[in-house]
Structures are given as structure tokens and as C-alpha cells.
Amino acid sequence: MKLYGAALSPYSARVMLAIRAKGLEIPLVDPPGGQKSAAFLALNPMGKTPVLDADGAVVIESAVICEFLEDAFPDPALLPAQPAARAAQRTVARLLDLYVLPPLLSLMAQTGDSTINAARLDKLTRGLDALEAVVSRTPLPAPAPTTLSLADCALAPTLLFLERFLPRYSQEDLLAKRPALAALWTAYASHPLVTPVAREMERALEAFGQRRG
């Protein structure tokens, strides 16, 4: 198996965390010919990463790839057993996918137009408020050092972006005002599975910054 993706992408990082939490050895590789090549579009017609090549089966969309890994490699489980607790995990992942990551990533691709950037920040703020309310109401269990839940895998790279990268683009300290999310970031920042992925993302950001000049 291999995962087509990029170290800087929070979507790829989410899947890499799930892979490592399950003790799997699946390499992260560049898309063949680039993300918009005919070869890659044949794998994912959206031209987006990550894509899992699961020995011939192609799985796209980071949330679906994580659920595929959970089904294919059930031990260790990254989802709890009870339906309500499973729903809570999936709610976190869905809020991130729909309301947090899109405005966060678009904010980092600054347009120079302050009205557009303010609208993106407003969307991000609303998504984070919803996430803060949900994780305050139904706290996620603290991850053991050797594992992470699927919600942790999705949250950790997003919070890393908010904490380490967003300050380059916005003055707002978005975690300071959200204690439940801030506490989660504190737990992830020193987690043995998260720290190497965070280092890889930071190295990729440095390289990206140098390429942009």
C-alpha cells in the first residue's frame, strides 16, 4: 500500500497519524506526475490528496481513508465501541472537514483583499466556536501515548496549523479564546505519535516558504 499526499497537508497528516496509531507501515509518496496529471486524475478525479492505493483498491477523501483503515485493520481500534461515542468522534471530524479546514486553508492562501480575508476569518471563527462547543459538551478521552482516536488524528494537524502556522497570516490567537481546544492542543503537542508528524509538517512549511521566496 502507499499513500499519495504531501507532508504539509493536514488531510495527509490525519491519515499518516491513523496509519502510525495502527502500527502500519504505509509510505507517504508524491502523486505520480503531480496532482493534476492524467495518471493522478485517474485515481482521484478531484485531483486532491490524500489518496490511498490499497493494493489495487483506490480510496479517496481523508475521512473515508481513515474509516477504511479502521475497517481493514480493526486492531488497535481508533473508534470507541459505543454508538454515541463513535458519533461524537465522527462529529468532530465532520465539523473540521466542513467548517474549519476549508476557511483555515483559504485564509493561508491570502488574497491581499482584506474584505475576502475578513470573511474567511469570520467563517473559521464560527467553525471553531461550533467545535469548541461540541468538545466541551462531549469531551474526547485523553489519548494514551501509544494511540490516538480518529477524532484526534483529524484534530491534531488542524490545531497545529492554528497554533503554529496561522499566526503568520493573522493576528488573532484563535486557540486562546477556546479552552477546550487549547487543552487538546497541549495534549497533542507532546504526544509521541503527533510530534514526528508535526516536525514533518513544519519542515514542509519551511520548504514551501523558501520556494515562495
Ligand X SMILES: N[C@@H](CCC(=O)N[C@@H](CS)C(=O)NCC(=O)O)C(=O)O
Contact footprint for ligand X (CB under 6 A): 9, 11, 35, 47-50, 61-63, 97
Min separation Cβ 177 and ligand X, Å: 25
In terms of CB distance, is 91 or 187 closer to ligand X?
91
Instruction: Tell me the residue type at 121.
Output: L
Min separation Cβ 81 and ligand X, Å: 25
As given in the structure block, the three cell numbers for residue 101 are: 479546514
In terms of CB distance, is 62 or 170 closer to ligand X?
62
In terms of CB distance, is 9 or 149 closer to ligand X?
9
In terms of CB distance, is 34 or 141 closer to ligand X?
34
As given in the structure block, the three cell numbers for residue 168 are: 503568520
Give one DSSP letter per residue of 59-127, joined into a string.
Answer: EESHHHHHHHHHHH--SS-SS-SSHHHHHHHHHHHHHIIIIIHHHHHHHHS--S-HHHHHHHHHHHHHH
d(CA 69, CA 87): 18
Min separation Cβ 26 and ligand X, Å: 16
Min separation Cβ 35 and ligand X, Å: 6
Q: How many C-beta atoms lie closer than 10 Å to residue 39's C-beta?
A: 10
In terms of CB distance, is 71 or 75 closer to ligand X?
71
Min separation Cβ 39 and ligand X, Å: 15
φ, ψ (nearest 5 deg) of residue 48: -115, 150
